[in-house]
Chains A and B, each alone.
Chain A
Amino acid sequence: MQSVVDLIQLANRRLGTELTAHDAERELAEVPCWDSVHLLRLVGLLEAELGRPVPVAEVLEARTLDEIWTAVSGAVSDTALSGAVPA
């Protein structure tokens, strides 16, 4: 998973939503096919897709799909960074 577009594709494929790339910056409350059930299910999907826990609190606090991706990808970077630091 490389970008918010991948996240959107994952949601459409597994949640049955009809999100477009234009929805990435839209307030979640103003995305027609989106609701809190989707949000909570997305947490589980992301953890399965990435094979690791995601920062749930940050994801649930996110206002847009972009912010969700930032929370998730930030955690990716942190993980990668911590892995790169010599013991």
Chain B
Amino acid sequence: MRVTGPEGPWDEVREAVRVHGSVVVHAQLDDWLPEDLDALWLRPVLGRDYARFAAMTHQQIRSRFVASRLLLKHVACAVIEASPQSVELAYKPGGRPYLRGLDQIDISLSHTETLLLVGLTRKGWIGVDAELSDRPMLGLGTEKQVCTPHERQALAQVAEERRNGALVRLWTLKEAYSKAIGQGMRFRFTEFGFGPEDRTVQVLRPDGGRGTGAEWSFHTCIVDRRYTVSVALFDAGFGDTDDTAAATMLDDGLVAALAETADAPPQAPQAPQAPQAPQAPQAPQAPQRPREAQGIRDAKPAREAQETR
């Protein structure tokens, strides 16, 4: 879905999430670029990202950083029905972005050239990636670093004029999947693969055997006639909700129980027990995605790779 600026169309974004549980939004950098990158209003909108932004010296990097954050925050806030200033973007170890305190949605961010891309889901995990469809990759040694033996065999069967595009598709699928599982490039691209586009896309083992089940779905499309965009989506099986609004996300029963506890007379202290960290479902055949329950939530991003590229 194309979003041309802060004016939306946000109703359509909300409707997409309500109906499908997920949405992928693309935009052009210029549509989201403030006239003045030093404007004071950017400070509260960027929040903790502002210090990082202020330290950037290269104009292109500053522009992309601020435009992508504005787009991401507007998309998320349209879904949770809150203001961009009220949402804090944070980063997990490895650089994956998340919205602090908003565990009901998962986000992913990518950009290439002037294209900005945001994925959002309330089903589980999402990863998105974009690349120029005609970016030269074939014959540059890329296949050896990117493809499994099975993929290299399959690529060789693709007509020569479409082979580079097929490799770009594989690249974006692998980037999207790696972002979704929170591994970035640490999960070597030669250790998992994807099949051809004329079949249901799923993760394959290096020998071409099936690697994941129906909980994963993958999509690739062409945006603006020049970008290959891939999306990896993991349905965590937590069930679904059509209400992602921040104001109403608390379960009524939980709120009632908390209120009851607060009104109850104090009891004798008990020996503390170690809290049980919730166990997130694991991606089959893939390293477990770091969850906030299992580690430090607010580490400085190691690099932006998972977030964007």
What is the interface of chain A, defined by CB distance below 8 A to chain B? Answer: 27-30, 32, 35-37, 39-41, 43-45, 48, 56-57, 60-61, 63
Contacts and interface: CB of A to CB of B under 8 A. Distances in A.
Contacts of B303: 27-29, 63
Contacts of B301: 29
Given A27-B303, A40-B142, A57 B56 contact: no
Interface in B253-309: 301-305, 307-309
B61 A41 contact: no
A7 to B, nearest CB: 16
Contact of A32 (B58, B302, B304): B58
A61 B188 CA distance: 11
Contact of B142 (A27, A37, A60, A61): A37
B302 A43 contact: no
Contacts of A29: 61, 95, 301, 303-305, 307-309
Contact of B302 (A30, A39, A40, A61): A61
A36 B142 CA distance: 11
A57 B191 CA distance: 13
B60 interface: yes
A56 B61 CA distance: 27
B226 interface: no
Interface of B: 56, 58, 60-61, 95, 112, 131, 135, 137, 140-142, 144-146, 171, 175, 184-186, 188-189, 301-305, 307-309
Contacts of A56: 188
B56 to A, nearest CB: 6
Contact of B186 (A28, A35, A43, A61): A61
Contacts of B305: 28-29, 36, 39
Dominant secondary structure at the A interface? helix
A40 B309 contact: no
Contacts of B61: 29-30, 32
B142 A41 contact: yes
Contact of A60 (B186, B307, B308): B186
Given A40-B146, A40-B189, A30 B58 contact: yes
A30 B56 contact: yes
A39 B144 contact: no
Given A30-B61, A37-B131, A61-B302, A44 B145 contact: yes
Nearest to B129: A36
30 contacts: A27-B304, A28-B303, A28-B305, A29-B95, A29-B301, A29-B304, A29-B307, A29-B308, A30-B56, A30-B58, A30-B61, A30-B304, A32-B58, A32-B60, A35-B309, A36-B305, A36-B309, A37-B171, A39-B185, A39-B305, A40-B142, A40-B185, A40-B189, A44-B141, A44-B144, A44-B145, A56-B188, A60-B186, A61-B302, A63-B303
A52 to B, nearest CB: 15
